[in-house]
Amino acid sequence: MDIPISRDGRAAGLPLYATEGSAGMDVRAAEERVIEPGGRALVPTGLRVALPRGWEAQIRPRSGLALRHGIVLPNSPGTIDSDYRGEIGIIMMNLGDAPFTVHRGDRIAQMVVVPVARVEWVEVRPDELGDTQRGEGGFGSTGGGA
């Protein structure tokens, strides 16, 4: 699928798949930011996209940043809607114990482009929802960890 993308002079490259089997494309920082412990920052990418209607781009964290530095994306996965034409920015949070510097060109997130189902709600009474084995059980009702 071909998707129009625009990059400004700050962008450090287009999103790219790291391997043949990668689900997500690496997204790079366009500017340097220092994120203090417990702090967060909006890191620009210099990228804008025109996704087709019925598709979204999900922004997901990079596991290595989380494991090694405590860097997470607090609204993960973030959604880029098909009608958004602004610059893609990545909200990063430092849960580590030391300041973390994002350098221009660093791989800071992954982008996964996926289809989105559109629905129309049909309002019914609770007894018309149908029975399931799980029923109303939630929040750990299907089993816990070891």
Distance between CA atoms of 77 and 75, rounded to whole angstroms? Answer: 6
Q: Which fold has domain 5-118?
A: Deoxyuridine 5'-Triphosphate Nucleotidohydrolase; Chain A (2.70.40)
pTM for this model (two decimals): 0.87
pLDDT in tens, the chain (146 residues): 999 999 999 999 999 999 999 999 999 999 999 999 999 999 999 999 999 999 999 999 999 999 999 999 999 999 999 999 999 999 999 999 999 999 999 999 999 999 999 999 999 999 899 998 888 878 877 776 56
Distance between CA atoms of 82 and 58, rounded to whole angstroms? Answer: 11
Domain limits, the chain: 5-118
CA angle at residue 117 from 129 to 54, to 5 degrees?
160
Tokens standing for residue 111: 């982008």
Could you tell me which of 24, 33, 19 has the C-alpha nearest to residue 71? 33
What's the gap between Cα 102 and its chain centre?
17
Q: For residue 99, how many other CB atoms are within 10 A of its CB? A: 11
